[in-house]
Amino acid sequence: MSKGLLKADHDPRAAALMALARVLENKADSQAALDAVLASPRMMPVDRRLCTELVYGVLRRYLQLETFCLRFLAKPEKLPAEMRLTLCSGLYEAAFLRTPRRASVHWAVEHVRNRFGKGLAGVANGSLRNMLRNLKDFHEPPADFFATEDERTAFLHAAPLWLVRLWNTAYGPESARLLLEASARTAPTGLRLNRSRPGWEEARAALLADADPKHPVTAVEPAGLAFSGSLPHTAKTLIRDGAAVRQSAAAYATLESLAPNSWPQPIWDCCAGRGGKTLALLEQNIPVALASDPAAARLEALTTEYARLTPATPLSLLIQAPAQNVFPRADLPAGTRFGTILVDAPCSGLGTLARRPEIRLRRTETDFNRLIRTQREILDTAATHLQPNGLLVYLTCTLNPAENQDQVTAFLSRHPGSHTLSEYTTPPDSPLGEFFYAATIRLPE
């Protein structure tokens, strides 16, 4: 699809189509695909903002956009995939942005003309204008538009039907509605002040005091902020200087809910990823003796961030390996045991749909069994490396009882004498836009 998009180095709509094609066809990560097209020096800041909005907006609303588009195309299977995506993008722009509709239609039609000729341009023009004449049905579909209320809900929130049913069953219709609404919106930008730097409290207070009333800033205690609009210049300067770092505000709130200052040491972060939680611990003088992850690129990012933030507490050891394969290692003392093991487990990611919208297009119910099995293996491995009376901290970025509460219950049944100390789930009405689950488990003495 991306061949021939010669204007993508300066045209935000063409660039957005290229990024969307990489995500939808090549299974690229949305942020990586967007970064690739935004790298062009010819794209102005206002164009970068439009491109970013189109990429994330179309992905969040893709299931809704595609369903609506198909109602106005006689033989959609015979149309080029790029043309169908162009129509979805034009519909998104007309339905959700302030761009004049004539501009959205004109660009889409001319793009199809340049790529596929006059005939298909006529089809694009007629179908897109027909969609816009019926735009009320897009936002408020008639009662007979869908066979069931769940199907209507799935359409309105651009969610797969199985997810609507899962959340309705697990959390009830009202909480499910709140979760679906949040997942279809732009997540706020999270910022964590570096607590190892003097003056972080004053810097955080100043950011709160200077917030634009039109774009509220939510405080996440003790060192986090969530910006509903763009990051202010002051925040970007703090990031550049190593005095702050971007981190999901919901993830930070979850970590802090677990009272990490009380965790027995030494600590092993066995699914460290890019190190957000490890670094947050080090910044408040909580030592992390070992951090491990199977991906070299993620550990490299952790190392880079550590060097930039330079927390006072050193990181003792990094190991590239799945948690199940970290031991035995020649660089670790025989019989090493930890007071606390943090398991930020690989999961279905259903709590991060606002930030990673492609998950809603890729994840299926068949993925759950594989993920649950991996989570179980990591938990059981971690238990063998805890000191007596040690603490197991289990955390996911998903909303699925089978990966959360049920996983903890199953662990307790396999490890008699263990018990849950605390559980936390991001509230469905949280302004932070993402949703996490966490539990702390005490092993027997």
What DSSP assignment string belongs to 140-190?
A: S--GGGSSSHHHHHHHHTT--HHHHHHHHHHH-HHHHHHHHHHHTSPPPEE
Query: Would you call the peptide bond into 160 cis, given omega within 30 degrees of 0 as the criterion?
Result: no
Specify the pLDDT at position 361: 96
User: What string of DSSP letters covers 387-431?
Assistant: EEEEEEEEEES---TTTTHHHHHHHHHHSTT-EEEEEEE--TT-T
Specify the pLDDT at position 310: 87
Rounded to whole angstroms, the Cα distance separating 275 from 265 reads 18
**pLDDT tier at 2, thresholds 50, 70, 90:** very low
With beta carbons less than 8 A apart as the criterion, state whether 60 and 359 touch.
no
**pLDDT tier at 331, thresholds 50, 70, 90:** confident
Place of tokens 């238990």: 383
Specify the pLDDT at position 329: 82
Rounded to whole angstroms, the Cα distance separating 286 from 267 reads 9
**pLDDT tier at 312, thresholds 50, 70, 90:** confident
First-to-last alpha carbon distance for the chain, in angstroms, is 60
Q: Which residue has the higher pLDDT, 428 or 42?
A: 428
With beta carbons less than 8 A apart as the criterion, state whether 62 and 155 touch.
no
- CA angle 228-234-239, nearest 5°? 90
Query: Would you call the peptide bond into 266 cis, given omega within 30 degrees of 0 as the criterion?
Result: yes
Specify the pLDDT at position 7: 61
Q: What is the mean pLDDT of the chain?
A: 94
Tens digit of each residue's pLDDT (9 = 90 or more) over 189-232:
999 999 999 999 999 999 999 998 899 999 999 999 999 998 99
Percent of the chain beyond pLDDT 70? 98
In 3D space, the residue among 65, 89, 78, 76 whose CA is nearest the CA of residue 14 turns out to be: 89
DSSP-derived secondary structure letter, 53: H
Strand pairing category for 244-246 and 189-193: antiparallel
Specify the pLDDT at position 5: 46
pLDDT greater than 60 at residue 10: yes
DSSP-derived secondary structure letter, 273: T
What sign for the dihedral angle of Cα 125, 130, 132, 137? negative
Residue 18 dihedral angles phi and psi, to the nearest 5°: -65, -45
